[in-house]
Structure 1
Amino acid sequence: MPVTAVLDVGKTNVKLVIFAGARVLWQRSVPNAPLPGPPYPHADVELVWRFALEALREAAAACSVDALVVTTHGASAALVDDEGLVLPVMDYEFAGLDAMEPDYAPFRPPFAQTLSPPISGGLNYGKQVFYQETRHPQAFARARHLLMYPQYYAWRFTGIARNEVTSLGSHGDAWLPREGRPSSLVERRGWQRLLPPVVPAFSVIGPVKPEIAAATGLRPDVRVFAGAHDSNASILPHLLTIEPPFTVVSTGTWVVIMAVGASTDGLDPKRDSYSNVDVLGRPLPTAKFMGGREFAVILDGAPPQADAEDLAAVLAAGAMILPAFVPNGGPFEGRHGRIEGTLPDRPGARAAIATLYAALVTDFQLDVLGAARGPLPVEGSFAANPLYCAVLAALRPGQPVLLALDTAGTAFGASLLATWPQVPARPPLAEAAPLADAQALLRYRARWRAAVAGA
């Protein structure tokens, strides 16, 4: 097995993790946040780049790296010329994009073709590019390549421009998941000239540039892989080891629910269900909501720990959270979240109701996808929340909730691109025990769903 460095660029944190098989040899992280502009809120790519070079320098002094893989959050694209960015990489939460919807809407292809729902802000990356083209035409005209975010960093490491389908196919309006080609948006706007060749995520783009090797101490023959969208990276260990159907619940700032083996026929754009594209180019029915962000908003500074007794007190009190607490995405976009009723006087009550809310919306989105069969591997931050896992297990009887408890789950999935299709041995996933008083929970869910439907 090669020693693989994974640069994992998340919305709130950036990590560099070094793997030898499934074993983490070394890791570092740094907080990440967008810059306010001008010309618009945008990713701090230079923070990411400085961190990557410094961390690689430290890592190369500790171990001999063979391969480098980049994984990033979705809904981000980079316009570059031969020297670098011609415009900043837009923050997908840029609310100013909503005002241009009337201009953009005539170019948005039908959902039946792209399986990409209209979403607020810049979560449709096609709208970002349209904004850049129409609001900054001179800079846009200088662009030579339109690169998805993981491949932007791969380009900086290698000097070679490539794209790949997991990022192209992530709710951008610009890709046809069933046909594996650009949509009419790309054709009508003439963006084909900007799209470099599309290669599989597990393809080697090239070696690191000599100046990168010199700056970091990496060997000059270190192979840089195309890389992937982070949610698609998190699904890889399961895609290679679990027989479909199964549904991965990837959690962090976003809760992204990917139903392997499900049909795309019933996807509902009004519920933020759509199709991603997996590393083999196949449609992947997906639903999402900003669960980690909502959890933090609901906590409002309270301790994040809660137990079954805290939850029992919330259920008995009948206090209820109605969506939603962020403006972007999710099945209840446009609604304003609130707590109805009175929380019990317990230190863990707010964490308990925040956890309950996250599990209820996860359960709701699983039903939107028709993901009623097969196990539910849970990745990321909520996998380390025993109460969330116990509630989800009680809400989904017959679907084992499997816990991926390693903190580098997305990065580990990305590392598999360097060994594709081999998977190093890992301990089996633990199964979460369901909440003991499932009947009280199920009665509560019925009331919650009725309240959501009537809101």
Structure 2
Amino acid sequence: MADSGDTCVAVIDIGKTNVKVNAVTTDGHVLETLSSTNPVLPGPPWRHHDLDALRDWVFASIAALAARHRLDTIVCSGHGSGGVLVNEDPGDGSGAALPMIDYEQPLPPGLDQAYAPLSGSFFDRGSATMLGATHQARQLFWMQRAEPQTVAAARWFLGIPQYWAWLLTGNAVSESSFLGAQSHLWNVVEQRWAPIVTQLGWQRLMPPFAKAWETVGLLRPEIARRLGLAETARVLAGAHDSSLNFYRYQAAGLSDVAVVSTGTWIVGFSDRTPVARLDEHRGMTCNSDVCGKPLGGVLTMGGREFVAIAGADAPDGPVLRHAVERLIAQGTFALPSFGSDDGLFPGSAGRGTMFGPPPADAMERKALALIYCALLTTECLDALGDCRTVVLDGSFLRDPLYAALVAGLLPDRHVFFNRKGYGVASGAALLAEHAERTAPAPIDLDKPEPLTTLTSLLPTYSARWRSLIQNDRSLTPALTLR
């Protein structure tokens, strides 16, 4: 263990595609990050995450960070579409009773039809029923139909962050923000289990609740030795990654704010969206913040759509400003949706088209993808309602024009961006001092540079884009992607 410097937090960040282990100060500054892909195996019994390989990599990474930083707390964040059915003993390999389903795994015939009548109301689910094996309740339903005896003998069904807390400490908890991330297990508004839990006898698999910042326990002695940490190192309950990213701004004292995070998904959250406004047919969700309160949410698979529009030959580096200006001036549009999910536009899945003069080259295709994702962002914000303050973060900010385009499309809102691309890790680390915090956590936000050459063009372009989406698509497209 390092023997100098202030103590800090090890944050395990489990994404669908990538996994990171971070050393983060208790005020949210990331000191070091190690990353790897999240390994997936083909099956049987279904495509699943390789928890054994992932455990070995995560433990080795924490040990490596412990040699350079004084780690005394561990917390995990996770994407909201995964759960792990476990047995009694966290020391028995990965502890999993059945492999953890990859949520993009197609479902077996008939499973969705059997699941739908059990899934409850919109607020029981927190979202529409989404693609593949998304939703923890649907995964557990599949497991129970495929392996009823194994499920009957299992001890717990745990969300991703709570699985890692259990693996490290042996103690099992449930946590509201992760269950509130479209699990279909928890009704956030009414603070109760969804009907499917009681109908199928799953209460016995659901451990008692803990707050995201609460200590689940201390490291199991054999784990402490393996990681090179003191046995007094504590493990927090952890939370949903997007809820932790929003918590980054809550901890900084911001309210009446909409936060849009970008990556594989464009995810928008607002603490001002009334639950009555939420529309499951427009990609809207009822999420939970780390305190268990409802958060208006909206999500669409913007990262995947960006790749589909930009193409395999997209050039490296940021989009050129003149390419954006030319496309907007000549009226070239990308119209939704380019993936298998409707997102904000019901019935649009797989119907993505480019309309108008086609992009001249690979740079212009990448520029069109960026414009399209900026427009998707404004749609997300319009769905969430009238928040005067908007904060952008995530991977799209690697291109400086993204924030500028969003700000140009929303002239009546105060748009900021966080150029530090580790909001989830920062939010998770800030949990370590949640109970003791007496002043807002520091945060540094920037305003985008105005796109003065496009000020008069963007409102017209945006209005035309919306009208093209709303018409009957009788116009002849420049290019259709399948």
Q: State TM-score, norm by structure 1.
A: 0.95
Equivalent residue number for residue 11 of structure 1: 16
What CA distance in whole angstroms lies between the structure 2 residues aligned with 1:127 and 1:444? 41
CA distance in 2, matches of 1:46, 1:406: 32
Which amino acid counterpart does residue 413 of structure 2 have in structure 1? Answer: Q
1:319 pairs with 2:332? yes
Q: Give the Cα separation in 1 of the matches to 2:71 and 2:123.
A: 44
Q: What aligned pairs does 1:230-245 form with structure 2 within 5 A after superposition? A: 230-245=241-256
Partner of 2:375: 360
The amino acid that maps onto 1:400 is: H
Post-superposition Cα deviations, 1:91-146, rounded to whole Å, max 9, x if no partner, equal 11122257422111110111154432222222222111111111221222221101
Given the alignment, which residue of 147, 153, 175 partners 2:158? 147
Aligned to 2:469: 452
Judged with a 3 Å threshold, the aligned counterparts in structure 2 of structure 1 residues 338 and 96 are, in CA distance, closer, same or farther, namely same
The answer on 1:412 being equivalent to 2:434 is no
Structure 1 CA distance, aligned partners of 2:113 and 2:237? 35
Aligned equivalents of 1:168 and 1:201: distance in 2? 12
Provide Cα deviations, 1:212-239, integer angstroms capped at 9, x if missing partner.
1111101111100000110011111211
- Structure 2 distance, partners of 1:97, 1:91, is 13
Q: Which residue of 1 aligns with 2:478?
A: none
Distance in 2 between residues matched to 1:115 and 1:57, nearest whole Å: 38
Query: Aligned pair 1:331/2:337, yes or no?
Result: no
The residue that corresponds to 1:374 in the other structure is: 388
Q: Is the 8 A contact 2:265 2:299 kept in 1?
A: yes
Higher mean C-alpha displacement, 24-33 vs 338-347: 338-347
Structure 1: state its 5+ residue gaps: none
Contact kept, 8 Å, 2:87 with 2:97, in 1: the verdict is yes
Write the distance in 1 (CA, Å) between the matches of 2:197 and 2:34. 38
Write the letter of the residue equivalent to 2:394: G
Aligned to 1:35: 41
Kindly provide the CA deviation profile for residues 28-81 of structure 1, in whole angstroms up to 9, marking residues without a partner as x. 111224322211122222232111111111111112211001001111111111
| Higher deviation after alignment, 129-138 or 39-48 | 39-48
Label 1:94 to 1:329 Cα distance change in 2 as closer, same or farther (>3 A).
Answer: farther
Preserved CA contact (<8 Å) 1:206 1:223? yes
The aligned counterpart of 1:57 is 63
Question: Do 2:260 and 2:266's aligned partners in 1 also have CA atoms closer than 8 Å?
Answer: yes
**How far has the Cα of 1:329 moved from its partner?**
5.8
Q: 1:44 aligns with which of 38, 42, 50?
A: 50
Change over 3 Å in CA distance of 1:329–1:235 after alignment to 2 = farther
User: Could you tell me whether the CA contact under 8 Å between 1:313 and 1:344 is conserved in 2?
Assistant: no
**Residues 22 and 424 in structure 1, CA contact (< 8 A), matched pair in contact too:** no
Shift of 1:353: 0.5
Which one of 112, 126, 130 corresponds to residue 119 of structure 1? Answer: 130
Counterpart selection for 1:136 from 130, 147, 152: 147
One-letter identity of the residue aligned with 1:119: M
Aligned residue in 1 for 2:98: 87
**What's the secondary structure of 1:95's corresponding residue?**
coil
Pairwise CA distance, 1:198: 0.9
State the percentage of identical aligned residues: 36
How much has 1:25 moved relative to structure 2?
A: 2.5
Instruction: For residues 132-172 of structure 1, give each alpha carbon's deviation from its aligned partner in whole angstroms, at most 9, with x where no partner exists.
Output: 11122122222110111110111111111111011111112
1:26 Cα deviation from its structure 2 partner: 2.2
What one-letter code is carried by the residue in structure 2 that aligns with 1:317?
A: Q
Q: Alignment RMSD, CA only?
A: 1.8
Q: Is the 8 A contact 1:2 1:419 kept in 2?
A: no
- Does 1:286 find its partner at 2:286? no
Structure 1 counterpart of 2:181, from 170, 189, 199? 170
d(CA) in 2 for partners of 1:329, 1:187: 31
Change (3 A) 1:92 1:206: same
Q: Counterpart in 2 of 1:303?
A: 315
Instruction: Specify the code of the residue in structure 2 equivalent to 1:236.
Output: Y
Write the letter of the residue equivalent to 1:352: A
Question: Is contact 2:334-2:368 (8 Å) kept?
Answer: yes
Cα distance in 1 for partners of 2:170, 2:342 equals 34
Shift of residue 262 of structure 1? 1.7
Residue type of the alignment partner of 2:14: V
Instruction: Summarize deviations over 1:220-269 as a string: whole Å, max 9, x none.
Output: 11100000110011111211224421101011111110011221111111
SS in 1 for 2:48: coil
1:434 equivalent among 450, 453, 466: 450
2:121 pairs with 1:104: no
Q: Deviations over 1:380-404 (max 9, x none)?
A: 1122321111111011122222111
Letter in structure 1 aligned against 2:406: L
What secondary structure does 2:74 align onto? strand
Q: Letter of the aligned partner of 1:23 in structure 2?
A: H
* Distance change in 2, residues 1:97/1:262 (3 Å): farther
1:326-379 deviations in whole A, cap 9, x for unaligned?
A: 214622363422222333425521111101111111111221222x22211112
Match of 2:223 among 180, 200, 212: 212
Give the Cα separation in 1 of the matches to 2:333 and 2:201: 49
Quote how far apart the aligned CAs of 1:281 are.
0.6
Question: What runs of 5+ residues in structure 2 fail to find an aligned partner?
Answer: 1-5, 90-94, 474-482
Q: Could you say which residue in structure 2 is the equivalent of 1:227? A: 238
TM-score by length of 2: 0.90
Work out whether residues 244 and 374 of structure 1, in 8 Å CA contact, stay in contact via their aligned partners in 2.
Answer: no
Distance 1:106 1:134 in 2: 15
Native 8 Å contact 1:97 1:127 kept in 2 = no
1:208 to partner: Cα distance = 0.9
Which of 360, 363, 378 is the aligned partner of 1:348? 363
Retained in 1: the 8 A contact 2:262–2:393?
yes
Distance 1:260 1:292, change over 3 A: same
What is the CA–CA distance in structure 1 between the aligned matches of 2:21 and 2:277, rounded to whole Å?
Answer: 38
Give the aligned partner of residue 476 of structure 2. none
**What secondary structure sits across from 1:69 in the alignment?**
strand
The residue aligned with 2:402 is: 388
Quote how far apart the aligned CAs of 1:410 are. 1.0
Tell me: CA distance 1:89–1:206, structure 2 relative to 1, closer, same or farther (3 Å): same
Alpha-carbon contact 2:28-2:430 (below 8 Å) kept = no
Deviation at 1:278, TM superposition (A): 0.6
Q: Tell whether the 8 Å contact from 2:251 to 2:440 is kept in structure 1 after alignment.
A: no
| Other structure's SS at 1:7 match | strand
